[in-house]
Structure 1
Amino acid sequence: MADTRKASRFIVPVAVAGVAAATIGLVPALAAAGDPDLPDITAQQLIEKIAASDTQTLSGTFRISTDLGLPLGGLADLGGLAGGGSSTADPTEKLTELVTGTHTLRVAADGPDRQKLTLLDGSDEYSLIHNGDDVWAYDSKSKEVFHEKAPEGADAAAEKPSKELPTTPKELADEVLKAAGDTTSITVDGTAKVAGRDAYQLVIKPKQSGSTVESVKIAVDAASGTPLKFTLSSVEGGKPVVDAGFTKVDFGRPAASVFDFKVPEGAKVTEGAAEKGAKGEKLPEDFEKDFEKGFGDLAGLGDFGKGGGLNVIGEGWTAIAKLDSGAPAPKTDEAPKEIQGLLDSFGDKVTGPFGSGTVFKTKLVNALLTDDGKVYVGAVTQDALVDAANAGK
């Protein structure tokens, strides 16, 4: 069971965080020609099937589309202001490209110790490889390499399951359905062909009104129980917020050579923070503090957020986090021009009994920043945020 969890740490982040062609697979479950005829299965049985999946080896092609409804030009300007990292190959920066647009990836996994992800952008490639004790990343466009040691003790920690956690697929399914409670509908809604394989469609929907989430759909391989596709749709309609899935998949063991990496001749190698420390290189003592202060000053937010604590209003899909900063909100007209343009491009001015403020919007998460320094944020509609602010005035 421990090995299954460790393999899932690779498969699930690639499928979800990684994020296909927008028309493949998981559209609303209208009976379509070619949908496989599979035995009936309940939602609980399908959740049990997912939990029991022991997939540890696979290779294939994965396509990801994301549409958060963000102003891309403004985000590019903000990225330029914030500054880049020390290496274009650093995965913490490179993989943020997946939050918008459509991308194709090759993926491979051989248990908890070997995984590889290659991001294909035209003629350029970006590869992230975990092979035993090493993690390598290579950007062919810049010819830069990023390297660090895999975290020690991670596998050992994964092998110590808590006594409070479910220990069988049925127990896990029971817990999932119990947690869903009165706020969530979980159903099996038809079948589909994904990457040439027969799959069931598990559909998760909010029962509450006011959420920005229309549905979450997961295509589950009928034979192995492995999730093949993930689609998150917004009540706004249009393209899914996240649509990620395999277009080709093979559950056989990849060749060991797939995970080999040799630094290309002439490539620049940057060591990660852990590796620098191991070699005795001095890291900036107050790097995190200085970064936060510098970026806060840049945005005019230096003293914002130092006030009261965080409260949660409501529950389930319509939960809203409220933060009282204790200080008036910064004025956007005092921010740098690039940031001002970004804020104006996806912010709406709102008023009500609470006073006035600005709602910053995406297709999934919205946030209300009131002029007196309160913040309301959640995967809820603009109206729900304003109602919460009015109730808490």
Structure 2
Amino acid sequence: MAPYASEDSESGTRRKAVRYAVPVAVVGVAAATIGLVPALADSGDPDLPDITARQLIEKIAKSDTEQLSGTVKISTDLGLPSLGGAAGGALGGGEKEGASSADPQSKLTELASGSHTLRVAADGPDRQKLSVLDDASEYSVIHNGDDVWAYDSKSNEAYHAKQKAGADHGDHAKKAPKGAPATPKELTDAILEAGGDTTSFSVDGTSQVAGRDAYRLQIKPKQSGSTVGAVTVAVDAKTGTPLKFTLTPAGGGAAVVDAGFTKVDFAKPAASTFDFKPAKGMKVTEADERAKAPRHEGTAKPEELKAGRLDDLNVIGKGWTSIAELKLPKEAAGLAAGKGSAEMPADAQKFLDSLGDKVKGKFGSGTVYSTRLVNVLVTEDGKAYAGAVTKSELVKAADAG
């Protein structure tokens, strides 16, 4: 099938695509920090009517799924080294006193690697629940109207925040912390937005996901230099809801992200699913109190971090080979470029040095830090270049800059 390139006239439809499908933007504070992923293999290739890539994308856009519940598994392999104690020393700090173990902004970052099992439920834009299941504990984030609750059974702590009910799903996304999209649907939307003439779309057969017949939409970069090989989205043949998302790297090997449902039900979840009341004696941290808590001694003040904020961001190129150029704070640039610090423990500096490769070019010298998907070049003059591109593309961008 000939690839289908997206057109500007359809971008509005795509942004609208399944606006509430799996609205596990589960809480503004937690939404964009996780990827939902299945470990179970697809079963069989169902015989479905032929469909073009254009028709399949339109099917996603027309989907009106607002209610569902299901079981999900997370499996993310960015190729990052084990952080260990040294990393904690190098990357820690800045933590406010009075932090809660139930705070979603810190807790859900644990899902950025490895495999995890989750349960999800959604009933429109104002009620969602996500639970991370462990062998002997459970962590849940619940959004119900004005209230956002997070509960950690291991520490018996809860975190509470207020959120305006009835806000548009897009508003939730804007308020969410930076990070990976939360659901297969959100991952799909992000890829479609990045389409244009840099991307090809095709239908790569059919599959079964969580017992449901699905079409496979394959998305590939047309540009060379990207670390992304292909993205495959399994789309429910009946509802148009994305059920599974798989991102494979250009370098081959296992998927970087394999995201989707192992069980899914499109019936309305029981109202009690989204109820939460702290038990007597449970420690509850209020978001407003957390924001006012003092920082640890030695933590940089916001005004001290002015350099390196998004105001200084410059995007080079477009599509899959876009590279973000950012000027870093002086101290951060020195550490990242391998210059070290008199105050940094030797083991922490050794850890940082082990992560990067030294490179040189017209720009001077610097260090490239790599994952299986994203590479970052930090130059000794304090600039950072980052993108889902090869090391050589980063060096070219730095030379041009």
- TM-based fold match above 0.5: yes
Distance change >3 Å, CA 250–CA 138, structure 1 → 2: same
User: How many corresponding residue pairs?
Assistant: 358
- The separation in 1 between residues aligned to 2:147 and 2:193, in whole angstroms, is 40
For residues 110 and 303 of structure 1, the distance between their equivalents in structure 2, rounded to whole angstroms, comes to: 40
Residue 307 of structure 1 deviates from its aligned partner by 12
Does residue 1:196 correspond to 2:196, yes or no? no
Counterpart in the other structure of 1:247: 262
Matching residue within 225, 230, 250 for 2:240: 225
In structure 2, distance between residues paired with 1:374 and 1:77: 23
The answer to whether the Cα contact below 8 Å between 1:21 and 1:102 also exists between their aligned partners in 2 is no
In the TM superposition, what is the alpha-carbon distance from 1:356 to its structure 2 partner? 1.2
Conservation of the 8 A alpha-carbon contact between 1:60 and 1:108: yes
Matched, 1:5 2:19: yes
CA contact (8 A) 1:5 1:158 kept: no
Cα distance, 1:115–1:179 mapped onto 2, change above 3 Å:
closer
In the alignment, the residues of structure 2 paired with residue 304 and residue 342 of structure 1 have an alpha-carbon distance, to the nearest angstrom, of: 25
In 2, distance between residues paired with 1:54 and 1:270? 36
Which residue does 1:45 correspond to in 2? 55
The structure 2 residue matched to 1:130, chosen from 143, 147, 154, is 143
Any residues of structure 2 matched to 1:81-230 within 5 Å, and which? Answer: 81-83=93-95, 86-151=99-164, 154-155=167-168, 180-230=195-245
Report the alpha carbon displacement of residue 55 of structure 1 after superposing the two structures with TM: 0.9
For residues 275-297 of structure 1, give each alpha carbon's deviation from its aligned partner in whole angstroms, at most 9, with x where no partner exists.
x49xxxx925x86998544998x
Cα deviation, residue 133, structure 1: 1.9
Q: Does the C-alpha gap of structure 1 residues 114 and 357 become closer, same or farther in structure 2, counting only changes over 3 Å?
A: same
| Preserved CA contact (<8 Å) 2:39 2:73 | no
| Identity in percent | 58
Q: What secondary structure does 1:62 align onto?
A: strand
Preserved contact between residue 67 and residue 269 of structure 2 (Cα < 8 Å): yes
2:313 is equivalent to residue 310 of structure 1: yes
Amino acid across the alignment from 2:139:
Y
Q: C-alpha distance in 1, partners of 2:193/2:212?
A: 30
Query: For residues 156 and 288 of structure 1, do their structure 2 counterparts lie closer, same or farther at Cα, with a shift above 3 Å needed?
Result: farther
AA aligned opposite 2:35: G
Give yes or no for the alignment of 1:349 onto 2:364: no
Give the 3-state SS of the residue equivalent to 1:5 in structure 2: coil
Q: Once the 2 structures are TM-superposed, how far is the Cα of residue 372 of structure 1 from its aligned partner? A: 2.1
| Contact 2:94–2:299, Cα closer than 8 Å, also in 1 | no
CA displacement at 1:212 relative to structure 2: 0.9
Query: How much does 1:385 deviate?
Result: 0.8
Do the aligned partners of residues 86 and 114 (structure 1) sit closer, same or farther apart at CA in structure 2, a change above 3 Å counting?
A: same
Secondary structure class of the residue paired with 2:197: coil
Q: In structure 2, how many angstroms separate the alpha carbons of the residues matched to 1:194 and 1:264? A: 38
Pairing partner for 2:82 from 68, 72, 75: 72
1:371 to 380, 387, 396: 380
Q: Are the structure 2 counterparts of residues 305 and 9 from structure 1 closer, same or farther at C-alpha, using a change threshold of 3 Å?
A: same
Structure 2: distance between partners of 1:343 and 1:140:
34
Cα deviation, residue 267, structure 1: 1.3
| Equivalent position to 2:334, from 321, 330, 334 | 330
Counterpart AA for 2:163: A
Matched letter for residue 255 of structure 1? A
Question: 2:273 corresponds to which residue?
Answer: 258
CA-atom RMSD in angstroms: 3.6
**Paired residues of 2:327 and 2:383 also in contact (CA < 8 A):** yes
8 A Cα contact 2:20 2:65, kept in partner: no
Amino acid at match of 1:269: V
Q: TM-score, normalised by structure 2?
A: 0.78
C-alpha distance in 1 between matches for 2:145 and 2:17: 15
Partner of 1:167: none
Q: Quick one: structure 1 residues 304 and 268, their matched pair in 2 at CA, closer, same or farther if it must change by over 3 Å?
A: same
Evaluate the alpha carbon distance shift between residue 122 and residue 330 of structure 1 in structure 2; reply closer, same or farther with a 3 A threshold. Answer: same
Report the alpha carbon displacement of residue 156 of structure 1 after superposing the two structures with TM.
Answer: 9.7
Give the distance between the partners of 1:260 and 1:51, measured in 2 at CA.
31
Please tell me whether residue 235 in structure 1 is matched to residue 250 in structure 2: yes
How far apart in 1 are the matches of 2:194 and 2:92? 42
